[in-house]
Amino acid sequence: MSSIADIEKEITEDFELFDDWEGKYEYLIGLGKDLPLIDEKFKTDEYIVRGCQSRVWLHASHDGNRVFYTADSDAIITKGLVALMIKVLNGQKAEDIAKAELGFIDKIGLKEHLSPTRSNGLVSMVKQMKLYALALIKTN
Amino acid sequence: MVNSTKEIISPSYTSIDWKKIREDFPILKREVNNQPLVYLDNAATSQKPQLVINAIAHYYSYYNANVHRGVHTLSQEGTNAFEASRNTIKEFINASKTEEVIFTKGTTNSINLLAYSWGRKFVKEGDEIMISAMEHHSNIVPWQILCEEKKALLKVIPINEKGELIWEEFLRLLSDKTKLISVVHISNALGTINPVKAIIEEAHRRNIWVHIDGAQAAPHLQIDVQELDCDFYSFSGHKMCGPTGTGIFYGKEKWLEEMPPFEGGGEMIKTVSFEKTTYNDLPFKFEAGTPHIEGAIVLAEAIRYLQSIGLSNISTRENELVHQTTTRLKEMDGIRFIGTAIHKSSVVSFLVNNIHPYDMGMILDKMGIAVRTGHHCTQPLMDFYRIPGTVRASFSFYNNENDIDRLMEGVKKSIQMLS
């Protein structure tokens, strides 16, 4: 499978096709709509990553080496961003996830969504994704 | 800077050039995301007119010094302006004495002062404090803290689907244990104007104290605390064209005299020894430490500015803008208004189909339109409506029809992109 850096590069290239915010957001919304559904049983408080405005549910599993994520959000733009994160990190090695810098969000001009004031739960989600990876590294 | 507010006579409504008033606010000339800014988040904070901005610079350029202490000229001048501002505010809300006007950091700070000082002195185990289902967290949490400490009970007046207090329920909840009713004058999330005068009359018949959270009312309505006969009234300066970090706590003198200090420190003392400290007279007893001198002085400037337009003209204009917005939004499919009280102020809270307010807020922001999305610090109220939040457009007199046009374009675009 492609490395985190390769996928980030791929996404950056996809976003370069758009020269205005509208195209970019329509693409993001489309990604949100296409995100495979999380199993309803994981849409509980136990799996919630709380933002002030939108909520994200995140579930992780592993095969002893790689981490697999499914997620959902009640807001579609947040869901699009969640889909991007999953695209990049899903099925990667725990060590790679833990050290991933995820600079592509900045490159594609969506950095504002990772600012703590956006309160969309995304910053906490990335943190949570990495925590799952770190937990797996520890148990190994 | 020290002229009396009573000299200001408001112009007639029709003589005001509302489009031109916008030019008083320099920030409204800027662009956001390459679009001219449409600012519809006035319930969160208002913008500041140039003369308020100038007054801030003037204060620091001309007579900055600490107040109430120095014998030197600067301190005297600063103290005079500070106390003149207190007088302007006293007249603005028609308090009977300047001693009843306490400078605070804002409404939240005012309510905490009340809950801590009054609550500590007067609330006993088993007593009841009453709030309403549409309160801002600022008028919930301080009372929860107090009730927990004192083993008192917090009672909540329910609302109907329109977002109005249910009067019969209010009457039913009153008991001989009710100590204080603390309700919002105008709801920040719904725009409902509550019948505070009737609440106060009902409460006083039973010797219950009443505090009114006027954060959203002071910028839009002419407040008269003597006519209302409220025991306490709180509001913020920054929502009424004044500086951030300014607020007012009004209390009837007889209650303020009985209340213990809120914070200890300089300014609030008469004499200090290690054995015993005696407290200063009103209003200084409640103003420990160096106050927000510039803020207080400039707040008076903001009030004079509002008065030069006239509070009744301001409400008429804002009602007109709200009416236009509501009428135009109604034409859209799938619109749901949150807060449809008969008596409403400058807020339009809504949802469209199942579009998440956060998503709509993001698209509007991309189009240079600032609205507030989310729970508006009223989570229990959002739970009542079973919604995560709303999109809220809140108006000020400097908004105009062009802002409404842009909002409509934005809402249409968001529906198109998000549906």
Show which of B307, B329, B358 is a domain's final residue.
B307
* CA-based nearest residue to A140, from A100, A99, A95: A95
A120 contacts on B by Cβ (under 8 Å)? 358
- For the four alpha carbons of A22, A24, A27 and A31, in that order, the dihedral sign comes to negative
**Residue-range definition of the domain harbouring residue B92:** 55-307
Eight-state DSSP code of residue B290: S
Query: Is 70 exceeded by the pLDDT of residue A120?
Result: no
The residue count for chain A: 140
Query: Which residue is it, tokens 């790689």?
Result: A66
List of residues 6+ apart from A93 with CB closer than 8 A: A65, A66
What confidence score (pLDDT) does residue A52 get? Answer: 64
> Which residues face B235 on adjacent strands?
B248
Provide the CATH number for the domain around residue B136.
3.40.640.10
Tokens for B383, please give them. Answer: 């739970």
Could you tell me the strand order of the sheet in which B209-213 lies? B101-104, B247-251, B232-236, B209-213, B178-184, B128-132, B153-157
Sequential pLDDT tens for chain B (419 residues):
444 445 567 899 999 999 999 999 999 999 999 999 999 999 999 999 999 999 999 999 998 989 987 889 999 999 999 999 999 999 999 999 999 999 999 999 999 999 999 999 999 999 999 999 999 999 999 999 999 999 999 999 999 999 999 999 999 999 999 999 999 999 999 999 999 999 999 999 999 999 999 999 999 999 999 999 999 999 999 999 999 999 999 999 999 999 999 999 888 888 898 988 899 999 999 999 999 999 999 999 999 999 999 999 999 999 999 999 999 999 999 999 999 999 999 999 999 999 999 999 999 999 999 999 998 999 999 999 999 899 999 999 999 999 999 999 999 999 999 98
Q: Does the predicted interface ipTM exceed a cut of 0.95?
A: no
At B3 the pLDDT is: 45
Torsion of CA B311, B314, B315, B320, to 10 degrees: 160
Distance between CA atoms of B45 and B217, rounded to whole angstroms?
13
The CATH number linked to A131 is 3.90.1010.10
Q: How far apart are CA B226 and CA B314, in angstroms?
A: 22
Alpha-carbon span B192 to B184, nearest angstrom = 9
Chain A CA closest to residue B365:
A21
**Token pair recorded at residue A14:** 């996809």
Q: Which residue in A25, A75, A120 is closest to B417 by CB distance?
A: A25
**Beta carbons within 10 angstroms of residue B201's beta carbon:** 13
The whole-angstrom separation of Cα A136 and Cα B93 is 63
* B126 shares its domain with B248: yes
**Shortest Cα–Cα distance, B393 to chain A (Å):** 16
Query: Can you give the pLDDT at residue A115?
Result: 67
Question: Is residue A116 predicted with pLDDT exceeding 70?
Answer: no
* Catalytic site positions of B: 377
Label residue A118 by pLDDT band (50, 70, 90): low
Count of structural domains, chain A: 1
Predicted confidence at residue B370, as pLDDT, reads: 98
**Helices in A17-121 by DSSP H: which ranges?**
21-34, 76-89, 94-99, 104-107
Q: Are residues B203 and B325 in the same domain?
A: no
Place of tokens 């409504």: B13
Residue A56 sits at φ, ψ, to 5 deg, of -125, 135
**How long a stretch of residues is chain B?**
419
Distance from CA of B42 to the nearest CA of A (A): 19
Q: Are residues B262 and B193 in the same domain?
A: yes
Same domain for B123 and B269, yes or no, is yes
Q: What is the Cα Rg of chain B in Å?
A: 22
- pLDDT tens, residue by residue, A70-107: 999 999 998 999 999 999 999 999 999 999 988 898 88
Is the minimum CB–CB distance between A55 and chain B shorter than 8 Å?
yes
| Residue percentage of chain A with pLDDT more than 90 | 57
| Helix, strand, coil percentages, rounded to 5, for chain B | 45, 20, 40
What 3-state DSSP class applies to B322?
A: helix
CB atoms within 10 A of CB A106: 13
**CATH number for the domain harbouring residue B15:** 3.90.1150.10
Same domain assignment for residues B298 and B314:
no
Write down the pLDDT at residue A109: 82
Q: Which of B285, B307, B329 is the last residue of a domain?
A: B307
A55 contacts B356? CB cut-off 8 A: no
What pLDDT is attached to residue B4?
46
Give the structural domain span for A82.
4-139
- The residues of A carrying an active-site annotation are 52
**B97 Cβ contact partners less than 8 Å away, ≥ 6 residues apart:** B90, B253
Q: What is the mean pLDDT of residues A23-30?
A: 94
Record: contact B359-A53, CB cut-off 8 A: no
Task: Report the number of distinct structural domains present in chain B.
Answer: 2
Q: Which of B307, B336, B356 is the last residue of a domain?
A: B307
Question: Does residue B101 sit in the same domain as residue B191?
Answer: yes
Using alpha carbons only, how large is chain A's radius of gyration in Å? Answer: 14
- Write down the mean pLDDT value for chain A: 89
Q: B375 φ, ψ to 5°? A: -90, -5
